Amino acid sequence: MAPLIPPTHERVNAALELREPDMVPVMDMTMEYKTIYGALGKKPVPLGFFFENPQTSKVIDWLFPRMDHAKIVDLAMDAFSYDKTRAAVAMGCDAAWVMHVPIYRYESSRLMYDIYGRRYDVVIDEGHSLGSPMYKSGFIHGPDDWDAWDKRAIFQMPAKNQRVYSRIQKDFGERIFVFGMFSGGLFEITSQSMGFDRFAVAIRKEKNFMRRYIKFYEDLYCLMIEVFADAGLPGVMYTDDLAYRSGPMLNPRAYDELYGDAYRRMTERAHSLGMKITIHSCGNVYPLLEWFADCGFDGVHALEPTAGMELARVKEMVGDRICLMGNMDITHILVDATREEVFAAVEESIRDAGKGGGYILAPTNTHSDMNVERLRWMVEASRKYGRYPL
């Protein structure tokens, strides 16, 4: 007897397979402590206070560079990923984009870096919680830097993710469809770790190095897809911000030359393991939509309205090839809009993209000003307007 498929999984799978589910699925992608703990009815611990306070920040500045604080960061990230999934269940979502990235290390109370070679500014939100760090610069300026880079923490990532996602899937897998995510994508990591100017030179003049550099992370991503499957996750959210609001950062042909084979290998690996795999990119991605479908992704997320992405147009362009995900505005609608505005925005999105299936309603991104009540209104409105037949 075949195992029963949870209703949320059937709903999400139907949308990703461009079929009509019973209703339009809703995906959560909240990544901020303030919103997560608001959904759980808890107050986040204001750890940011210790980074802002002149006395305690001096202690951090002296202590963290002198100690191995990786285990502290890992424990915090484990709890974050678990609570993030729990919050998505509490809000009644069908799917959750669950990030598990125990990759950060602190240089000081103001600076941090990651295990891939990127430096960030520490971000504290208005509630004195630690927010998503802000990318600043990179450490990998060429082959010598990469060869000398300590990769031990990178090699530990698969085991860490397997442990955390296995627990999440065991506790929540029957109630929500989990998209696993472990890091930024190939373009993000390889360009940001070098800095864009240096990256632009390298892809023209140091092609052998760039092929080797990209291949390292391609292999890591394929291994992580195996880890997600072993943990029982039904989906992968591959993230790679490839565009500005004005359009792609590179010529689409350059993206395919550099990353196309890797993308196709990743989607084939996920599908061979019975998983769905979707791609997230902020910005205006009209010129990349056909390529995403050609690479084999089941869904495309963000479709930012503030970057000019119109769901009706995207549906017309690729709606018969790839599931559309997102488009819910996070600058006003999910921040300070009225209930009527939220309901109207959801109704419009479902009308523009939901016909025939192939649409998953979701915020386009995340930040600490997103409002829990508006997110709940989004879910409520989807149940009102998203029942098939539309």
For residue 21, say if its preceding peptide bond is cis, omega within 30 degrees of 0. no
How far apart (Å, rounded) are the C-alpha atoms in residues 303 and 70?
35
pLDDT at 286: 98
Element of type H or E holding 279 = strand 276-281
Please report the pLDDT score of residue 368 as a whole number: 86
pLDDT at position 167: 98
Give the CA-trace dihedral at 301, 306, 312, 318, to 10 degrees. -40
**Nearest CA to 360 among 296, 311, 317?**
311
**What is the per-residue pLDDT for 3?**
55
- Asked if 321 contacts 383 with a C-beta cutoff of 8 angstroms, the reply is no
The DSSP line for 77-116 is HHHHHHHHHHHHHHTT-SEEEEE----EEESSSSEEEETT
Structure token pair of residue 295: 């690479």
pLDDT for position 1:
44
Sorted by sequence, the CB contacts under 8 Å of residue 95 that are 6+ apart come out as 8, 12, 25, 26, 27, 28, 88, 176, 177, 178, 179, 235, 360, 362
Kindly provide the b/e burial profile for residues 234-268, where b requires at least 16 CB atoms within 10 angstroms of the residue's own CB: bbbbbbbbbbeeebbbbebeebbebbbebbebbbe
How far is it, in rounded angstroms, from Cα 284 to Cα 20? 27
Q: CB–CB of 241/282 below 8 Å?
A: yes
Q: Compute the distance between CA of residue 371 and CA of residue 364 in angstroms, rounded to an integer.
A: 14
Task: Categorise residue 326: left if φ over 0, alpha if ψ from -120 to 50, beta otherwise.
Answer: left
- Residue 151 in tokens: 């990769």
| CA angle 114–120–126, rounded 5-degree value | 120
Cα–Cα dist 134/123, whole Å = 7
> Which residue from 163, 303, 286 is spatially nearest to 227, judged by alpha carbons?
163
Tell the burial category of 81 from Cβ atoms under 10 Å away from its Cβ (0-12, 13-18, 19+). buried
End-to-end CA distance of the chain: 33
Label residues 35-46 b or e (16+ Cβ within 10 Å = b). Answer: bbbbbbeeebee
Using the 8-state DSSP alphabet, how is residue 4 labeled? P
Determine how many CB atoms are found less than 10 A away from the CB of residue 362: 29
pLDDT per residue of the chain (390 residues) written in tens, 0 to 9: 455 678 999 999 999 999 999 999 999 988 988 899 999 998 877 888 999 999 999 999 999 988 888 888 899 899 999 999 999 999 999 999 999 999 999 999 999 999 999 999 999 988 888 888 999 999 999 999 999 999 999 999 999 999 999 999 999 999 999 999 988 899 999 999 999 999 999 999 999 999 999 999 999 999 999 999 999 999 999 999 999 999 999 999 999 999 999 999 999 999 999 999 999 999 999 999 999 999 999 999 999 999 999 999 999 999 999 999 999 999 999 999 999 999 999 999 999 999 999 999 999 999 888 999 999 999 999 999 999 999
CB 288 within 8 A of CB 242: yes
**Domain boundaries of the chain, sorted by first residue:** 7-385
**In this structure, are residues 16 and 322 in contact, taking their beta carbons and an 8 Å threshold?**
no
- State in words which class domain 7-385 has: alpha beta
Greatest CA separation for the chain: 63
Which residue in 238, 235, 229 sits closest to 179, CA to CA? 235
